[in-house]
Amino acid sequence: MKVLVTGCNGQVGSSLVAQLEGKAEVLAVDRDQLDITDEAAVNEAVAAFNPDVVINAAAHTAVDRAEEEVELSYQINRDGPRFLARAAEKAGAAMLHISTDYVFSGDEEGAYSEGDQTNPQGVYGESKLAGELAVSEACPQHIILRTAWVFGETGNNFVKTMIRLGRDRDQLGIVGDQFGGPTYAGDIAAALIVIAERFMRGESVAWGVYHYSGLPSVSWFEFASHIFEQAKAQGVIDSVPALSSITTADYPTPAKRPANSRLSMDKIETNFGIAACDWQAALADIRPYG
């Protein structure tokens, strides 16, 4: 199996590269090696490597900056995926693309299913939804994997931020009225590899949009409480700061955050046998995050 991985230094990308070692011939690129917004460069790289699977883990994920960096957001989140998907289609490859819960408004109750109405509330979500549409139009053999609340050992994420703040502050206010499923980057990578390997074995693949995130669903406040409990127990921090649950209104941001980021796992479990991420197990050893 030959796999092209973009965004190889990000949370999911680095996990993909590590887990594919010994399983596939991998061309791992970040923006310095391949600017996915350059269509000619994408076509040249894909033609030269001739991958069986293209996995796009590159994205403009700075949610608040996206409100100002509109053009850049669309270039990276829409145009880049389109160029990769077109090149994958020419090569006869499958295209696996990571998307986000931000394509939904977050105002509905319960877990969002793949067929629920999309209604992004900011530039990040709008540009990611545009990327989904671009991929689906350019390459019939595609999987769009929506995920949420991603954390891992590399890059910036909520777990690392909490550990850093926990060392510096005695008190913290954490948003308690936004809910979702924390999702370990390594489990996202593993899910994508399961799908890629099924394709390579010539088995039937139900292409389209899927959701993948963690259970149990929690608030950011509850997630932070678990992080600090583990960090203190494992000696990563000396003491747990006093936590208070605050509202979204208490912590205004340039971009609106979804109040509900819960994603239904039914479809991916039925079609691929992939279970929800056990984020608590992923934090059983919290030391690599600190």
Residues ≥6 apart with Cβ < 8 Å to 213: 101, 147, 148, 149, 180, 181, 182, 183, 261, 262, 263, 265, 276, 277
Q: Which of 74, 112, 124, 289 is catalytic?
A: 124
The token pair that represents 16 in the structure block: 């993909």
Which pLDDT does position 186 carry in this prediction?
98
Rounded Cα–Cα distance for residues 129 and 110 (Å)? 21
pTM of the model: 0.97
Question: What are the residue ranges in the chain where pLDDT is below 70?
Answer: none
Dihedral sign of CA atoms 49, 23, 204, 12 in order? negative
Q: Which helix (H) or strand (E) holds 51?
A: none
- N-term to C-term CA, the chain: 34
Among residues 211, 208, 203, which one has the least CA distance to residue 181? 211
Give the pLDDT confidence of 149-203 residue by residue, as tens digits.
999 999 999 999 999 999 999 999 999 999 999 999 999 999 999 999 999 999 9
The CA distance from 81 to 60, in Å, is 12
Is 112 in the active site? no
Q: What share of the chain is helix, strand, coil (3-state, %, to 5)?
A: 45, 20, 40
Question: Letter for the amino acid at 152?
Answer: G
What is the radius of gyration, based on Cα positions, of the chain?
19
User: Nearest Cα to 240, choosing from 249, 248, 231, 253?
Assistant: 231
d(CA 119, CA 121): 6
Query: With b meaning 16 or more CB within 10 Å and e meaning fewer, what string describes 125-145?
Result: bbbbbbbbebbbebbebbbbb
How high is the pLDDT of residue 97? 98
Q: Which secondary structure element, helix H or strand E, spans residue 272, and what is its range?
A: helix 266-272
